[in-house]
Amino acid sequence: MKLESEQDSMLNGEHGRIMAKAMETVVKYGDAFGAKKLVPIKSGHLAGTFGAGPFGAYMKILQQIAEEGVKVRVPTTVNPRPGYDINFINRRIVFTKQETLEKLLSAIGVTPNYSCVCYEKANVPSFGDRLAWAESSAVQFANSVLGARTNRNSILMDVCCSLTGFAPEFGYLLDEHRRAQMLVRLNIKKMDAPALGYLLGKKVVDKVPLIEHYPFSRIELKNMGGSMAASGGVALFHVEGLTPEANDMKSVFDSPPKVTLTVTQDDLDSLRVRKHHMADMVVFGCPQMTCEEALAIAQNFAGKKVRIPTWFCLVPDELAEFKKHELYGKTLEAGIAIYDFCPTAALTLRIGKKHILTSSGKMFYYLSGTDYGTEEDCLRACGVIP
C-alpha cells in the first residue's frame, strides 16, 4: 500500500507509540482487503459499549490509549448503552465495568451520544463522505439513505480508524462496489419494512440490491435497513427513485439485472407469529426510536393501559425531545417503560420472559426465542387495539 507522508510518519512512530500501533493495524486491515491507499475520513462511529467481562481486552487497549493522552482525530460517536442498571443481574454480574468503559471512551474524546441512530443528529454525514463506522444498522443507513461511504468495521478497527483519521480504501468506499447486483420486485399490498429487510438480508446475504420504487418513509428505511444488516451482511441497498445513488435503474446497473427476486405479501406475513396473544412482553425500538416514531406509536396508548410489560427504547436526544410532548406522560400512564438503551442487549438474559414480541427484525434475529409481529400485532398484544 502506498502511504502519504503523514500516514508514513504515524506508522514510523513520530506521533507516538499508540498512533504507530493504530496505523499499523489500519494498514494491515487494508492490505488484507487489497486496498491501494488510505483515505481521510470525516467521522467514526464505535460499536463497543458493553462494559462486560468478554470486553476486557478491548477495555485494556482503551486504557492504554487514554493513559498516553491520545484522542480520536475525527468526530466519533458511539452505540447505545446496554441497559446495565435495569436489574440486579445486569448491574452486579454482567455489565460491572460499564462506568469504567464510559470514562475511557470519554477520555479518548468520543462523543457520548450513546445511540446506534447517530446519523439523525449527533453524527450526520453528507453525500459522498468517507467514514469508518461500526454498527451494521448505522453503516447501512449511512451508505444507503445518505450516500456516504463506509465499510462494516469491527470493534477496535473502528477505534484505530478514528485515532488515525484514515480508513483503507476498499469495498463500499469504491464506486465499483456500490453498483446494484440484483433487482428486488415487490408484490405486496401492505408494507412491513422490518419484515422486508429481514427477508432481504436472508436472501441477498452480502450483495447490493436495488428495490423497485416504493415510497418508504425515513423511519421505514431505518427499520428495514437495521433488519437487513442483521439477518444478512448487506451494507448497502438502493431504492429506485428514492435513495441518492438510484435515480433510476440505469444509474445503479451497468447492464439489465441478471438476478431478480420477488417478495410477496405471503413472504412478509410468514414472519409474523400467529399467537401474538401469548406474548408476555412487547418491545419497540431496535434500532432505537426517534421522537417522531415514538409519537406515532404512542398515540395508540393514550387513555389506555397495557396488559403486559411494554418497552419503548429511544435515542437519548430523541427521548429528551419526546419528554416535551403531552403524549410522553400519557405513554407512562398507559404503563409503558421508556428507556434510552439498546433493548436487545438489555434483554439478552430474558429474565422471567418467555414470549417477547417485537416489531424489530433485528431484535427478532438476534434475541433467541423472540417472536416477530407487525406494529399492529404488537399493539394488539399490548391490548390497546382490537
What is the contact surface with ligand F3S in residues (CB under 6 A)? 79-80, 116, 137, 226, 286-288, 342, 344-345, 362
Are 102 and 193 in contact, with CB atoms under 8 Å apart? no
Q: What is the largest CA-CA distance in the chain?
A: 67
Q: Position of cell 440486579? A: 88
Smallest separation, CB 116 to ligand F3S (Å): 3
Q: Is the dihedral of CA 111, 113, 119, 120 positive or negative?
A: negative
Nearer to ligand F3S, 164 or 360 (CB): 360
Nearer to ligand F3S, 72 or 342 (CB): 342
Closest residue by Cα to residue 162 from 43, 7, 59, 12? 43
Give CA–CA dist 125/147, Å, rounded.
9
The DSSP bridge pattern shows strands 166-168 and 38-40 to be antiparallel
Nearer to ligand F3S, 22 or 134 (CB): 134
CA 314 to chain centre: 13
Smallest separation, CB 341 to ligand F3S (Å): 8
Nearer to ligand F3S, 30 or 343 (CB): 343
Smallest separation, CB 18 to ligand F3S (Å): 27
Smallest separation, CB 115 to ligand F3S (Å): 8
Smallest separation, CB 114 to ligand F3S (Å): 10
Smallest separation, CB 285 to ligand F3S (Å): 7
Give CA–CA dist 242/335, Å, rounded.
38
Smallest separation, CB 294 to ligand F3S (Å): 14
Nearer to ligand F3S, 78 or 104 (CB): 78
Nearer to ligand F3S, 80 or 197 (CB): 80
Nearer to ligand F3S, 7 or 98 (CB): 98
Are 66 and 198 in contact, with CB atoms under 8 Å apart? no
Give CA–CA dist 374/384, Å, rounded.
14
Q: Classify residue 189 as exposed, middle or buried by CB count within 10 Å of its CB (0-12, 13-18, 19+).
A: exposed
Smallest separation, CB 230 to ligand F3S (Å): 8
Are 374 and 193 in contact, with CB atoms under 8 Å apart? no
Nearer to ligand F3S, 76 or 137 (CB): 137
> How crowded is residue 5: how many other Cβ atoms within 10 Å of its Cβ?
7
Give CA–CA dist 385/304, Å, rounded.
10
Phi-psi region of 383 (alpha: psi -120 to 50; beta: other; left: phi over 0): left
Closest residue by Cα to residue 108 from 24, 164, 149? 164
